[in-house]
Amino acid sequence: MRFVISLFLCMVLNASCTDDYKIRHQLDTLYGNPIIIPSETMELVRGFNEKDRNRSKLRLVVYMDSTRCSSCAIKRLRDWELLREDLNEEVDLVFIFAPMKEEYEKVRDALCKEPTSSDVYVDKKHAFIRENPHIPSNHKMHVFLLNKKDSVILVGNPLNNYKIRRILYDVFEKDSQ
């Protein structure tokens, strides 16, 4: 019996080490590659065309793939706007929704009704993930802060994680000095 328990514990510990390594590797890959926003191949439903925008230094990208609840994310757009206001609007918010084909019209129509000054794209052709194959499938890594060169400087959702929010505020504090 002790042998079975010991074997089970070893398997659990080994799995957690493997998961830690996998997450670390995914983060390293994100930090090591720029993010490409293929605005010309996605439908802009709110905001400004990328070419017409006077871009801020930093850009916060929120990617919602078809595995996530789009209507839930749409309801949280106002929370993102409030976060941007807290940051003195020194960040551009970019939302990219990549719904399933059968939900495309419903998501697009819902997004058109939402009052937001952020850039909101619907990615019908899934061009964003095709251009950025280094983005992991883990939805916790689908929110990232980009610098002027489109390099990732922070990964994580500040609305769901206080530590990420604190780091985000620290980035803006240092950037304003």
Confidence of residue 6 (pLDDT cuts 50, 70, 90): very low
Residue 15 pLDDT more than 70? no
- Supply angle C-alpha 140, 118, 95, rounded to 5: 30
Identify the pLDDT of residue 12.
Answer: 41
- List, for residues 148-172, the tens digit of each pLDDT value: 899 999 999 999 999 989 988 888 8
Spatial separation of the C-alpha atoms in residues 20 and 147, rounded to whole Å: 26
Domains of the chain plus CATH, in order, are 33-176 (3.40.30.10)
- List, for residues 21-57, the tens digit of each pLDDT value: 777 877 777 778 899 999 899 999 877 655 545 566 7
Identify the pLDDT of residue 101.
Answer: 87
Confidence of residue 133 (pLDDT cuts 50, 70, 90): very high
How many other C-beta atoms are found inside a 10 Å radius of the C-beta of residue 173?
A: 10
DSSP letter string over 134-177? TS-S-GGGSEEEE-TT-BEEEES-TTT-HHHHHHHHHHHHHHH-
Residue with more model confidence, 31 or 141: 141
Identify the pLDDT of residue 61.
Answer: 94
Structural tokens at position 37: 């926003």
Identify the pLDDT of residue 9.
Answer: 39
Identify the pLDDT of residue 129.
Answer: 93
Whether the Cβ atoms of residue 47 and residue 116 lie closer than 8 Å to each other: yes
What average pLDDT does this structure show over 9-22? 54
Residue with more model confidence, 160 or 14: 160
- List, for residues 66-106, the tens digit of each pLDDT value: 777 777 888 888 899 889 888 876 788 999 999 988 888 89
Q: Enumerate residues 6+ apart whose C-beta is below 8 A from 168.
A: 87, 145, 154, 158
Give the residue carrying structure tokens 């950025």. 132
Residue with more model confidence, 3 or 162: 162
